Structure 1
Amino acid sequence: MPLDTLLTFIATTMFISATPGPNMLLMLSHGARFGWRATLATMAGALSGLALLIGLSALGLAAVLAASTTLFTILKLAGAAYLLYLGWQCWQAGVELNLPTAFGETGLARYRTGLAVALSNPKAILFASAFLPQFIQPALPQGQQWAVLLVTFFLIESGWQLAYAVGGVSLARWLSAPRRVRFFNRSCGIAFWAVGGMLALARR
């Protein structure tokens, strides 16, 4: 793969991954609630979900979603509903933050949450099918190029998820007063509702 193509991919992916979305918002929330080490399980779930979506894209599901308005709408609304549910959970949390002294959830539960959030957006499949192939050079070996792109993508995505989780830990130090905890929980709830609403209204 030409160096200029790889550098363009890195710069673009750095920007896209850094943009706050469901996955990054979840890392921030879990980082504040459980600490960054416990949030590694959430990260593993989210990265597994992204790997599954990219795999489905490679198998041709992206073409099916692009052709079937009904299927895309069903998956989109299901994902939006899950994000709205997470928003409601955050809103209902009130002044309880559940900091690392008592995790309150198992690692498996956090993994499942990360996986579910990553899978909640069917547009990620279309994104993978439309974005990644742009950096593939047809005249060069395909397998090596895909390997480089995917390894680079997951390294960048993992780095940003960890950064958001660590940011959540720093944020937790500020959450020393109940009113601040309530503000944080409800802000996360509103953010999840906003992302869920945008997903529900989004077109292919």
Structure 2
Amino acid sequence: MRFDLWLAFVLTTLLISATPGPNMLLMLSHGTRYGWKATTATMAGACAGLAILFTASAFGLAAILATSATLFLLLKLVGAAYLVYLGIQCWRAGETLALPRANSNSTASRFRLGLTVALSNPKAILFAGAFLPQFIDPHLPQQAQWGVLLLSFFVIESSWQIAYAAGGARLAAWLQQPKRVRWFNRGCGGAFFAVGGLLALARQ
């Protein structure tokens, strides 16, 4: 793969992944509530969800979303509604780090949540279908280039997820006072509300 294209992809993806979207907000929240080691299950679920979306994009779903305003609207509203639901759960937690109806002792539960949040964002499909191909040189073997880009993406995405989860784990030490916990929960809830709202209002 051409080094200049790969470097441009890495630098751009570093900035995109660092932006606190649904996945990163979830890692921060879980890192604070359960510790960064327990949050690795959430990370695995999110990465699995992204892998599913990228596979769907490879089979042409990105093209369908790009041309079908109705399908895109439906998917983004479902995703936005789920993010708002997570925001409500955080807001209702009050002065405790334990979320209502959440099973903090279940690795499978954290994996499913990470998977669901990743799958709730149809823009990830468009990212794979519209963004990644811009860094492919048509004059070079295609499969090897896709392999390099996807490997680089998941390394960057996983690194940021770990950073957010570790940051959340450190934040937990500061959240010893109920008042601070309450404001943290409201902050997380408000962030999920905002991201869900932006997703719902996003144009195709």
TM-score, with length taken from structure 2: 0.96
Secondary structure in structure 2 of the residue aligned to 1:37: coil
* CA offsets 1:161-181 (integer angstroms, 9 cap, x no match): 000000000110110100000
Map of 1:177 onto structure 2: 177
Contact 2:104 2:110 survives alignment (8 Å): no
Q: Does the 8 A contact of 2:136 with 2:142 survive in 1?
A: yes
Measured in 1, the distance between the counterparts of 2:197 and 2:133 equals 29
Q: Which runs of 4+ in 1 moved over 3 A?
A: none
CA shift for structure 1 position 104: 2.8
Give the aligned partner of residue 139 of structure 1. Answer: 139
Q: Secondary structure at the match of 1:176?
A: coil
Structure-1 residue corresponding to 2:67: 67
The aligned counterpart of 1:107 is 107
Q: Is the 8 A contact 2:83 2:192 kept in 1?
A: yes
- Which string of whole-angstrom CA distances, capped at 9 and with x for unpartnered residues, describes residues 54-88 of structure 1? 11011000111111111111111000000000000
| TM norm structure 1 | 0.96
The SS at the match of 2:52 is helix
Gapped regions of structure 1 (runs ≥ 5): none
List runs of 5+ in structure 2 lacking aligned partners.
Answer: none
- Percent of matched pairs sharing the same residue: 67
1:54 aligned partner, one-letter code: F
What is the aligned length?
Answer: 201
The CA deviation at 1:123 is: 1.3
Q: Which amino acid aligns with 1:16?
A: I
> Could you tell me which amino acid in structure 1 is paired with residue 116 of structure 2?
A
Aligned to 1:79: 79
1:79-98 pair list within 5 angstroms: 79-98=79-98
The answer for the alignment partner of 1:18 in structure 2 is 18
Residue 34 of structure 2 aligns with which residue? 34
